[in-house]
């Protein structure tokens, strides 16, 4: 028997054997990773969100060309997304006016999150295209993730779990209220 066949047989023997890893099954995320199953233009959550109430869509601010909402699948409490209203896939497709507001809202989001949550730093990022990891590749969006010196706990490493201390609705209200007072 060759090594490859022996390896396959050995692996088959291990099915069902427990290991130290917990699994968090998230089948609802499969749509974002399967080839060709990105939402169509008519199903784009970033196009639909502005048609809903702020509470329903978790929107914290509506600007002229862009808006800001909480990420439904946050990395940390207060994880925001800055999104243009226009359905465009890439940063290079944005108009100069959209870029200006996009940047200004990103800065304001950082100020708000620092003021209300004492964030010590931020991860700011955009994934452009499916191959770059964009969950919604058809609609440009930027992540603003607050970070704290002591936020690196062992849950994600040993339990594959993220601890989020506040409910999204409560975080939305707190950020929305602060947004009006912080420029």
Nearest 5°: the CA angle 85, 129, 99 is 40
Per-residue pLDDT of the chain (183 residues; tens, 9 = 90+): 565 555 556 555 555 555 555 554 555 455 445 545 556 667 899 999 999 999 999 999 999 999 999 998 888 889 999 999 999 999 999 999 999 999 999 999 999 999 998 999 999 999 888 787 777 888 999 999 998 887 665 445 444 556 566 778 888 888 888 888 888
If one counts the domains in the chain, the total is: 1
Phi and psi at residue 124, in whole multiples of 5°?
-120, 130
**Domain with 165 in it: what CATH number?**
3.30.428.10
As to burial, measured by CB atoms within 10 angstroms (0-12 exposed, 13-18 middle, 19+ buried), residue 54 is middle
pTM of the complete model: 0.72
Q: What is the pLDDT of residue 155?
A: 46
**Which residues participate in catalysis according to the annotation?**
141
Range of the domain at 136: 25-31+38-179
Secondary structure element (H or E) that encloses residue 176, with its range: helix 168-179
Q: What is the pLDDT of residue 35?
A: 46
* 3 is a domain residue: no
* 12 is a domain residue: no
């Amino acid at each position: 028997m060759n090594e490859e066949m022996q390896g396959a047989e050995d692996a088959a023997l291990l099915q069902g054997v427990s290991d130290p890893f917990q699994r968090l099954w998230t089948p609802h995320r499969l749509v974002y990773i399967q080839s060709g199953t990105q939402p169509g233009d008519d199903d784009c959550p970033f196009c639909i969100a502005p048609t809903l109430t702020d509470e329903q869509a978790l929107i914290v601010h509506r600007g002229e060309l862009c808006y800001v909402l909480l990420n439904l699948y946050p990395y940390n409490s207060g994880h925001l997304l800055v999104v243009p209203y226009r359905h465009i896939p890439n940063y290079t497709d944005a108009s100069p006016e959209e870029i200006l507001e996009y940047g200004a809202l990103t800065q304001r989001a950082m100020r708000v999150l620092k003021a209300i949550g004492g964030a010590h730093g931020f991860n700011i990022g955009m994934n452009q295209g499916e191959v770059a990891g964009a969950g919604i590749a058809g609609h440009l969006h930027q992540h603003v993730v607050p970070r704290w010196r002591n936020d690196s706990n062992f849950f994600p490493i040993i339990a594959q779990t993220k601890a989020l201390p506040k409910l999204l609705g409560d975080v939305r209200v707190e950020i929305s209220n602060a947004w009006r007072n912080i420029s």
